[in-house]
């Protein structure tokens, strides 16, 4: 007996006026990249006010370095240096109550450096002890007198002393004395009226495991608790700050070696933080941001790492990552924007950004003291992503940066000149390696002709410091951070000095010198990075003024005409939720003239404009404004056939992305299915795919067994907001679960999903509750499940991966579908039998479009059952990328056929259009 062949037909009814997806139509999902599984996640919500955690910030002068203070001021801003740590030195006895010559000279050196700071900057004193003279050993009164004399010298110079620490890192020794000595010194200070309003600080330990030991023995004579983080456990570092605050004392770390220590300190109560050495870019930005509000935080205690997101008082939003200087283990952090798409250092628009913070293999073994800051932006002017080979163009002159005379000799001067296309005018601009040492928020510039690096001559901190090309040693004077100005222009700022690279005296002369200078905002300090070969000009292309918006059920399609200019490199798409409102960038570098926005919510009107961008980054004016509102009608939201890719075959173009070692095998439906290996393979779906009040998810699965809690799908925002389907739960059953912060709601089958065979699995969420089907048979239902995806708007959406640290899926997945309504039992049965004629959107008029046989081999028969009307009825057959391959006009009784014998096998779209309705079907052509 011949086996029956079931037709593979999908009925797609789109309503009136829906334009066909054009060839190469772009969408907001085109650039989706599946993010790796992180160890920690920092979620943040830009619409929330955040947490205010103001900190007193300072710089350190115990390390006696004028340059460190100059650099710290440059990166923090003098107005934000609240305190400076100065020192007393017990290296020689006092004589008649006075410092001896060497000690006084060292103190005056410190006082002169402190004069670099504003008068508001206060002083904290600690012990600088290259040696301890016997005059002080065991003599609390002498030690206290030294502190008193030193404090008076600072006060006589107009400075306010707010805190003194009798010992520094006494747990490490250094010859200062015991806990008893410290206690006795604190007692002597308490007798002195000078210290009535000056905090006595202890125990100032190196090792966090010793911090509470010292503090608890001293606390009756202390006003302030202090520890460093150079050894010990994370738990004890956190507990120390909490304990000090609980005692009503001031909590301090006066030797912050990394932004990680600052972030953790803030979390557990630290009130004063002083940077050891100096502050560079990440530290300076963290100081500024901390005066605003914190939007998110995460830590990895065993790995000694942390990350956070802050909004500064000026509205700037930044992500920070940091590691312990001596104890960190490499950690992956994921930053997740919960309420909108954003750009991370220009990458996007996207919800997620992954930051790998490198650590070592043991205490002081392979450690890099890594820290980083990432800009989080949105709006209509987004910085380009920089990483490649460029000509670097000055905004003031229009000339390019070059190595003088094309020299390849170390020390060659750098200047500006007309672009000649020479390799000595071309620069490889690349992010530094994350293990460069310390902050890795920087870039290096190396000349293409020689490999020499852009360099600040003699490590200058001065205005006018010359820029040269030097052997690429990755020194701090050869690293730069890029601060976005506007319209594709950047400030190039030095890691060493924070100064901007500029053309001297705003010159427009060929050969004018390039130097560094304090940021002024001048155009001579602004630069564009243009691809090699670009014609340098500043005439924007003409605007498109024929933009058209068409509403789909859960997306909006935009169409426009190509720009007449030949150098247009692409288009930027902008969207607003009000007419002529504030526009945000939702896509960049769009190469086509058709675009689908699948990030909309049905029922909300959206307004759109576009701009053309040329190769020199000049932007046209806005196009005309158009508006559309997705209807929200019943629709197949996403369909992933997995026939060789993770692309969506619906008009909404909800393209997904695979991660890891995935492959494709013979499928259940169509030609292929995706194979997930349980090691590193999964599929990530776009952030907006599941934002629906009602929903159905259907898929074919060939589960190959393995551990419990694998995921067929898992849509959510983390471990408190999710909906998932697991082939086998901990109690051995197929389970669907959904949670929105409170109690989890479940559907449980009576057994696990079968192993090593194809099964069709569906879950529906509708007004009557939730239903779960296997091979078209209802296996669980509940009217008590009332949580819906729209309640928590899942953005981390996976096939084969969990929100938790559960195993990845081991098996094959095919024909994955998402609907924005609850399928009926009959429709689920049809899907499970490969009879996929499911109505996705209501037509205006009830009609039947019959197509057979499917799959078709030689001839495709078509019958359209409708009453006669006076309008022309046209039948078109398109490829999936929108190319028209056949077309016919039908006359009543609307019966025809297509000869498809010469057509390639695959999926096609059959579209019928007349004056009353539009009907579309997907058909499969397969040649046996």
Using an 8 Å Cβ cutoff, are 504 and 396 in contact? no
* pLDDT, tens digit (0-9, with 9 covering 90-100), for 803-838: 999 999 999 999 999 999 999 999 999 899 864 433
pLDDT of residue 910: 86
Q: How far is CA 768 from CA 403, 773, 821, in A?
A: 72, 15, 12
Q: Is the pLDDT of residue 6 over 60?
A: no
pLDDT of residue 847: 58
Say if residue 115 is exposed, middle or buried (CB neighbours under 10 Å; 0-12, 13-18, 19+): exposed
Q: Is the pLDDT of residue 297 over 70?
A: yes
pLDDT band for 496, please (50, 70, 90 cuts): very high
Q: How far apart are CA 535 and CA 324, in angstroms?
A: 47
Q: Is the pLDDT of residue 871 over 90?
A: no
Q: Is the pLDDT of residue 639 over 70?
A: yes
Q: How many CA atoms lie within 13 A of 599 on its CB side?
A: 27
* Mean pLDDT across the chain: 93
pLDDT band for 882, please (50, 70, 90 cuts): low
Q: How far apart are CA 444 and CA 438, in angstroms?
A: 15
pLDDT of residue 868: 67
Using an 8 Å Cβ cutoff, are 724 and 802 in contact? yes
pLDDT of residue 729: 98
> Quick one: average pLDDT of 590-595?
96
Instruction: Describe the crossing of helices 179-191 and 208-218 by its angle, rounded to 10 degrees.
Output: 50
pLDDT of residue 7: 30
Q: What are phi and psi of 789, to 5 degrees?
A: -55, -35
Q: Is the pLDDT of residue 846 over 90?
A: no
Of the candidate ranges 344-353, 775-784, 871-880, the one whose mean pLDDT is the lowest: 871-880
Non-local (6+) Cβ contacts of 381 within 8 A are: 486, 487, 585
Q: Is the pLDDT of residue 918 over 60?
A: yes
Q: How many CA atoms lie within 13 A of 404 on its CB side?
A: 16
pLDDT of residue 845: 47
**Element counts in the chain: helices (H) and strands (E):** 10, 60
Using an 8 Å Cβ cutoff, are 525 and 604 in contact? no
pLDDT of residue 655: 97
pLDDT of residue 22: 57
Non-local (6+) Cβ contacts of 902 within 8 A are: none
DSSP output for 364-402: TBS----EEEEEEE-SS--PPP--EEEEEEETTT--EEE
> Quick one: average pLDDT of 702-717?
97
Q: Is the pLDDT of residue 18 over 90?
A: no
Is the N-terminal amide bond of 789 cis, ω within 30° of 0?
no
**Residues of the chain above pLDDT 70, percent:** 95
Token pair of 354 as six digits? 């992954």
Using an 8 Å Cβ cutoff, are 254 and 316 in contact? no
pLDDT of residue 891: 81
Task: Please list the alpha-helical segments (H only) found in 369-520.
Answer: none
Is the N-terminal amide bond of 855 cis, ω within 30° of 0?
yes
According to DSSP, the residues that pair with 443 across neighbouring strands are: 431, 480
pLDDT band for 842, please (50, 70, 90 cuts): very low
Of the candidate ranges 189-198, 277-286, 840-849, 864-873, the one whose mean pLDDT is the lowest: 840-849
pLDDT band for 926, please (50, 70, 90 cuts): confident
> Quick one: average pLDDT of 149-165?
98
pLDDT of residue 883: 65
Q: How far is CA 190 from CA 140, 148, 177, in A?
A: 12, 11, 19
pLDDT of residue 844: 36
Q: How far apart are CA 634 and CA 171, in angstroms?
A: 70
pLDDT of residue 8: 30
pLDDT of residue 917: 73
Q: Which residue has the higher pLDDT, 450 or 917?
A: 450
Using an 8 Å Cβ cutoff, are 435 and 392 in contact? no
pLDDT of residue 865: 79
Q: How far apart are CA 214 and CA 289, in angstroms?
A: 33
* pLDDT, tens digit (0-9, with 9 covering 90-100), for 42-59: 999 999 999 999 999 999
Q: How far apart are CA 891 and CA 907, in angstroms?
A: 26
Instruction: Describe the crossing of helices 259-268 and 234-246 by its angle, rounded to 10 degrees.
Output: 40
* pLDDT, tens digit (0-9, with 9 covering 90-100), for 729-777: 999 999 999 999 999 999 999 999 999 999 999 999 999 999 999 999 9
- Is pTM beyond 0.75 here? yes
Q: What are phi and psi of 541, to 5 degrees?
A: -70, 165
Q: Is the pLDDT of residue 499 over 90?
A: yes
Task: Please list the alpha-helical segments (H only) found in 87-139.
Answer: 101-114
Q: Which residue has the higher pLDDT, 860 or 404?
A: 404
Q: Is the pLDDT of residue 15 over 60?
A: no
Of the candidate ranges 10-24, 213-227, 270-284, 664-678, the one whose mean pLDDT is the lowest: 10-24
Q: Is the pLDDT of residue 21 over 70?
A: no
The three-state secondary structure class of 47 is coil
Other CB atoms within 10 Å distance of the CB of residue 491: 21
Non-local (6+) Cβ contacts of 691 within 8 A are: 601, 789, 790, 793, 794
pLDDT of residue 3: 32
pLDDT band for 792, please (50, 70, 90 cuts): very high
* pLDDT, tens digit (0-9, with 9 covering 90-100), for 237-268: 999 999 999 999 999 999 999 999 999 999 99
Q: How far apart are CA 425 and CA 419, in angstroms?
A: 7
Instruction: Describe the crossing of helices 179-191 and 140-156 by its angle, rounded to 10 degrees.
Output: 50
Sheet with 721-726: list strands edge to edge.
657-659, 682-685, 796-799, 713-716, 721-726, 735-740, 745-748
197: left (phi over 0), alpha (psi -120 to 50) or beta: alpha
Of the candidate ranges 1-10, 78-87, 320-329, the one whose mean pLDDT is the lowest: 1-10
> Quick one: average pLDDT of 629-645?
96
């Amino acid at each position: 007996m011949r086996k029956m062949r079931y037709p593979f037909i999908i009925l797609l009814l789109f309503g009136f006026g829906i334009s066909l997806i054009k060839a190469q139509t772009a969408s907001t999902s085109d650039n989706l990249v599946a993010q790796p599984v992180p160890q920690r996640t920092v979620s943040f919500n830009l619409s929330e006010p955040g947490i205010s955690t103001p900190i007193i910030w300072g710089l350190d002068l115990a390390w006696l370095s004028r340059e460190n203070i100059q650099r710290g001021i440059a990166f923090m801003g003098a107005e934000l240096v609240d305190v400076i740590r100065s020192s007393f030195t017990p290296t020689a006895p006092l004589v008649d109550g006075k410092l001896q010559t060497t000690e006084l000279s060292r103190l005056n050196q410190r006082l002169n450096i402190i004069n670099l700071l504003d008068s508001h900057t206060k002083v904290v004193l600690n012990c600088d002890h290259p040696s301890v003279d016997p005059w002080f050993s065991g003599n609390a009164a002498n030690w206290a007198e030294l502190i008193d004399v030193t404090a008076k010298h600072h006060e006589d110079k107009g400075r306010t002393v707010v805190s003194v620490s009798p010992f520094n890192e006494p747990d490490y020794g250094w010859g200062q004395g015991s806990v008893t000595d410290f206690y006795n010194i604190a007692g002597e200070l308490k007798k002195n009226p000078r210290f009535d309003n000056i905090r006595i600080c202890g125990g100032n330990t190196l090792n966090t495991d010793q911090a509470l030991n010292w503090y608890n023995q001293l606390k009756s004579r202390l006003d302030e608790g202090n520890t460093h983080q150079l050894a010990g456990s994370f738990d004890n570092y956190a507990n120390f700050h909490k304990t000090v605050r609980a005692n009503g004392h001031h909590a301090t770390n006066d030797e912050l070696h990394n932004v990680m220590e600052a972030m953790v300190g803030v979390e557990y109560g630290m009130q004063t933080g002083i940077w050891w050495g100096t502050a560079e870019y990440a530290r300076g930005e963290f100081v500024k941001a901390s005066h605003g509000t914190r939007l998110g935080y995460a830590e990895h205690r065993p790995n000694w790492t942390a990350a956070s997101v802050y909004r500064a008082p000026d509205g700037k939003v930044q992500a920070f990552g940091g590691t312990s200087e001596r104890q960190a283990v490499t950690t992956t952090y994921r930053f997740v924007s919960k309420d909108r798409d954003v750009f991370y250092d220009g990458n996007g628009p996207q919800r997620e950004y992954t930051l790998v913070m490198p650590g070592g293999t043991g205490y002081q073994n392979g450690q890099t003291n890594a820290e980083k800051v990432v800009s989080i932006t949105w709006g209509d002017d987004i910085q380009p992503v920089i990483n490649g080979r460029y000509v670097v163009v000055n905004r003031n002159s229009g000339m390019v940066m070059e190595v003088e005379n094309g020299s390849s000799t170390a020390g060659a001067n750098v200047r500006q000149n007309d672009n000649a296309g020479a390799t000595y005018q071309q620069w490889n601009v690349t992010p530094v390696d994350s293990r460069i040492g310390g902050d890795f928020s920087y870039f290096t510039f190396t000349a293409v002709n020689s490999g020499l690096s852009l360099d600040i001559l003699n490590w200058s901190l001065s205005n006018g410091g010359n820029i040269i090309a030097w052997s690429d040693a990755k020194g701090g004077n050869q690293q730069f951070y890029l601060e976005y100005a506007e319209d594709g222009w950047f400030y190039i700022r030095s890691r060493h000095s924070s100064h901007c690279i500029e053309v001297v005296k705003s010159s427009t002369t060929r050969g004018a010198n390039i130097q560094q200078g304090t940021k002024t905002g001048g155009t001579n300090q602004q630069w564009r990075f243009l691809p090699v070969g670009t014609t340098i000009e500043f005439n924007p292309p003409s605007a498109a003024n024929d933009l058209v918006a068409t509403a789909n059920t859960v997306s909006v399609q935009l169409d426009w005409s190509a720009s007449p200019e030949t150098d247009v490199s692409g288009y930027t798409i902008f969207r607003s939720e009000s007419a002529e409102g504030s526009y945000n960038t939702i896509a960049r570098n769009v190469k086509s003239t058709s675009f689908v926005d699948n990030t909309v919510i049905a029922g909300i009107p959206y307004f759109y404009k576009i701009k053309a961008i040329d190769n020199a980054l000049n932007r046209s004016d806005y196009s005309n404004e158009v508006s559309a509102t997705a209807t929200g009608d019943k629709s197949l939201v996403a369909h992933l056939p997995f026939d060789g890719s993770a692309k969506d075959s619906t008009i909404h173009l909800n393209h997904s992305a695979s991660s890891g070692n995935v492959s494709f095998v013979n499928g259940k439906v169509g030609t292929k299915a995706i194979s997930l290996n349980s090691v590193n393979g999964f599929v990530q779906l776009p952030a907006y795919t599941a934002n629906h009040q009602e929903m159905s998810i259907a898929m074919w699965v060939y589960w190959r067994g393995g551990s419990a809690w694998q995921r067929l799908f898992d849509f959510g925002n983390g471990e408190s907001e999710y909906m998932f389907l697991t082939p086998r739960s901990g109690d051995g059953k197929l389970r669907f679960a959904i949670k929105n912060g409170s109690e989890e709601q479940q559907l449980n089958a009576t057994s696990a999903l079968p192993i090593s065979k194809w099964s069709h699995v569906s879950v529906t969420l509708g007004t009557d509750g939730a239903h779960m089907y296997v091979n078209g048979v209802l296996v669980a239902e509940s009217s008590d499940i009332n949580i819906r995806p729209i309640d928590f708007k899942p953005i981390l959406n996976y096939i084969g991966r969990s929100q938790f640290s559960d195993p990845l899926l081991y098996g094959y997945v095919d024909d994955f579908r998402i609907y924005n309504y609850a399928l009926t039992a009959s429709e689920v049965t049809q899907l499970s039998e490969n009879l996929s004629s499911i109505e996705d959107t209501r037509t205006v008029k009830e009609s039947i479009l019959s197509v057979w046989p499917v799959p078709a081999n030689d001839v495709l028969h078509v019958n359209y059952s409708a009453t006669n009307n006076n309008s022309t009825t046209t039948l078109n057959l398109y490829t999936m990328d929108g190319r028209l391959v056949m077309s016919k006009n039908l006359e009543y009784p609307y019966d025809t056929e297509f000869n498809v014998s010469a057509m390639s096998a695959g999926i096609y779209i059959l579209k019928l259009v007349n004056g009353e309705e539009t009907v579309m079907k997907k058909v499969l052509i397969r040649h046996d």
